[in-house]
Amino acid sequence: MMNVIEVRGLHKAFGRTRALNGLDLTVRAGEVHAFLGPNGAGKTTTIRILLGLLKADTGEATLLGGDPWHDAVELHRRLAYVPGDVTLWPSLTGGEIIDLLGRMRGSVNAERQKTLTERFDLDTSKKARAYSKGNRQKVALIAAMAGDAELLVMDEPTAGLDPLMEATFRECVNEERRDGRAILLSSHILAEAEALSDRVTIIRDGRTVETGTLAEMRHLTRTLVEAELLGPAALEGVAGVHELTVTGSLVRCQVDHAALDEVLGRMHRAGIRSLTCRPPTLEELFLRHYSPERPVAGVQ
């Protein structure tokens, strides 16, 4: 299968700041690819290079089989983009902006645009200056998804959306995948990537630290369990339990998905007074896996 995005050893510096430091990224046709990294890792810089807005210092980048810098206009007919920081022209209405961006890209699917507008519940007759952050985000999302693009590039697309609209967004992404579109989705929220993506690339300080399918990265998706127990639960030494700390009746540990049933069973038998289970945030993962003192794991 052909890769829609192929990036190797990308470097980019702004003055003395090095934004990208040998970044690799491969997005296959038809897949939803999550592009993860903490703030300032170089996600937006990479995307801007892929869009031909910035010129890479060294390294190779291929987008839809073309050169993102030289073939920008031709390539842009085949992709759609949702910026990370959505600003809109205050004097135009949301509807005008959606139409205009679609026409400038060259493909408008009126039927789809109408459905999306209804699903995202956007009042398109309002001037952009009157929109909240979430509504501005909706305008950018509808404009991008209403076309017939082969590739969607989205920079933190759910910023500002409420949980209801986030669910709608996830449905839409799944439909796009079914239609065979490839999606590059940058985010700093691991749960979002987990819910949507086929494969994940994690970057830090302008360098790729991990890439693969979610199954291959199960170690990143442990659940953080915190419980207050009535008695001792004897979790020491159970397979799949990591970083266990017991402070009096408080128990804190990270649990692989396979061991979750076993661990909760033991806790239940000991008697549970309170319990929280949540996935670790990306920041916690980075602190644990990629903090400077530790060797960088899983570099290809």
Partner 1 sequence: MTTGITGTGQLTKLAFRRDVVVLPVSVLGTVALVAIVARDLRVLYPTAAKRLAVARTGGENAALRFLFGRLNGTSTGALTAWRFGVWAAAFAAMLTIFIVIRHTRADEEAGRLELVGSAAVGRQAPLTAALLAAVFASVAITLLACWWLPVLKLPFAGSAALALSIGASGLAFAGVAAVAAQLSKTARGARVIAIAALGAAFVLRGVGDTDPARLSGLSWASPLGWVEFARPFGSAGERWWPLAFSLAAFAVLVGAAFALAAWRDHGAGLLPDRPGRPAASGFLRGPVAMAWRLQGGVLLAWVAGYVFTFAAFGAATKGFDSVLGTSATLKRYFLRIGYQATVVNAYLSAVMLLAGIGAAAYATSAVLRLRAEETGNLAEPVLATATGRIRWGLSHISVAVGGAGLLLAAAGLSTGLGYGILTGSVSTQVPRLLGAAVVRLPAVLVLAAVAVLVFGLLPWESIGLAWSAVVLVGLIAVFGASLLWPPWMMDISPFTQIPRLPGGTVSAEPLLWLCGIALALGVAGLLGLRRRDLGDFGPSGLAARIRTYIEQSSGG
Instruction: Tell me how far apart the alpha carbons of residues 199 and 184 are, in angstroms, rounded to a whole number.
Output: 10
91 touches partner 1 by CB under 8 A: yes
92 touches partner 1 by CB under 8 A: yes
Residue 64 exposed, middle or buried by CB count within 10 Å (0-12, 13-18, 19+): buried
Nearer to partner 1, 105 or 289 (CB): 105
Among the candidate windows 30-38, 48-56, 200-208, 240-248, which touches partner 1 by CB under 8 A? 48-56
105 touches partner 1 by CB under 8 A: yes
148 touches partner 1 by CB under 8 A: no
> For residue 76, what are the contacts with CB-CB under 8 A and spacing of at least 6?
51, 52, 105
39 touches partner 1 by CB under 8 A: no
Q: Which of 97, 82, 100 is nearest to 169 (CA)?
A: 82
51 touches partner 1 by CB under 8 A: yes
Of the candidates 22, 40, 95, 298, which one interacts with partner 1 according to CB under 8 A? 95
> For residue 38, what are the contacts with CB-CB under 8 A and spacing of at least 6?
188, 204, 282, 283, 286
Contact call for residues 295 and 51 (beta carbons, < 8 A):
no
Contact call for residues 157 and 185 (beta carbons, < 8 A):
yes
Q: Which of 78, 145, 80 is nearest to 109 (CA)?
A: 145
118 touches partner 1 by CB under 8 A: no
Of the candidates 130, 230, 258, 297, which one interacts with partner 1 according to CB under 8 A? 130
Count of residues that interact with partner 1, criterion CB under 8 A: 43
157 touches partner 1 by CB under 8 A: no
Site residues for partner 1 per CB under 8 A: 14-15, 48, 51-55, 72-74, 76-77, 79-81, 83, 85, 87-89, 91-93, 95-96, 98-101, 103-106, 124-127, 129-130, 140, 143, 153
